[in-house]
Structure 1
């Protein structure tokens, strides 16, 4: 490239650190923009860095992306940029795979322990100044089915195994002797696997195949005492069916970090269910996560500008980064 590349950076409320972006700024023209100015920033740009990883602005500005070669999103999920024009283009898409794996795995373990030890119930008793002796459950020996076998699922599997749980996976293709999951069954065999699981953890990417994977028939296939944890995407779940399953006792509880509508409306029935734990899409947001997201991009930019293959390249047909 005879000129310096142009990098458009879409941000929301927080600008990337100048210090961390210095490796890019010294070798490229950097255009910072909010949602309203994205089309102008994309005009002539070679690279788009979506630091606003929840944005819905890219499809509407895509008409200006005639020079775009590479799009990087500061997230593991790439569904915001899997619209037809981007899929069909020659633009390479990369994600921030690897940043959130350990933190989300810890969140899943914490939610499982909270269910087993009834920590929310203990807090309610404390708040009412009630001394009430109770017994709790063990998690050692309990079964966990992890739906989604990417890096976050693998980190979760390793941590749950270390806590003594029996772990298996559900993914696109079946296989035995997996180093982290042991046995991985294919998605079409999910119902029979659900029947044996005490905890079902959803970490799958959102694709047309996984949208509403968890619905009335899925919840009906679970054990009545099973707990459901969703740290994948809200749209993996048909929320009304989940509410109905919780109310009917079809499943025993749910820990939810993601929702099909965010923020979750204040009048939504999930808020008032004592067997539900709600967090605001922050299961992976550890101290320093925003800086790590920038570093993933700047490291990949160094590869791109020097002609090395990019890391974390998304298969646009599959909608995620294939496992190595």
Structure 2
């Protein structure tokens, strides 16, 4: 039986490219959305696309927030996986340039899907930060166990900085989907995936400069001996698990019109400084020769999450934090040794 044709946005991203790769290896036909023509050759030439590139066709949509932008891209599409984020801007206009674009993008996608009878399911990348208000981080609450039923309602402007606006934008976008379903009763269902702190090897990282971006720039430096001051919520998830969840969510056996938390080591979470013990356990030689100094630290903000609904629906366990860190450090060590060889 032939696999379905699915549309995926955000395929040049950290998570999105892994979703594309896994979807192709699972036999799905993919229509990949890119913003620029030159991104197509970059994807096709990636080593992981060897033997798989023929399974993906590309469509260029430069502005994903424009009404009707997806109209012609959805012909014969049965499932949409939406990972793309609005292009980042350096701005002081938080309401206009941070909060509104994700809502416009969702409206564009949902509107086009509503007019496309072949679409049966939409899978949207949301975030576990939608479960809590940003202000919760500074409270003393270490006991509440958050579930996929929780939703941050502390989203009223004005927003005083970009982080506050980002936090609100994620919650508002998730609520926007709930409101769309309630108001329109579409012919398709929607699954929203809520990953926590995403870690693991990046298929696009080819050197240390491209490796040290996002959360990795906060996590890995503690094995370089750096003492980090700001606390990070202790709720990790392996990027490969996040990508697999997007592809597995295509299956009709996974109940739709639901939100699913993606996180490991539940419900207690982890302590970030345990990275040092993991490094010593798996890479004793690198610790002995100083490549991994293991003298840094990163404070942990305890955050209890319940992912039992996710495990039941998808039928698999999340990769442990220990294995996630091992995979992350393997890539880091490889890049460090490569940089020393080439210098």
Instruction: Give the TM-score range, shorter chain.
Output: 0.3 to 0.5
Q: Larger radius of gyration, structure 1 or 2? A: 1
The alignment's TM-score, normalised by the length of structure 1, stands at 0.34
The alignment's TM-score, normalised by the length of structure 2, stands at 0.32
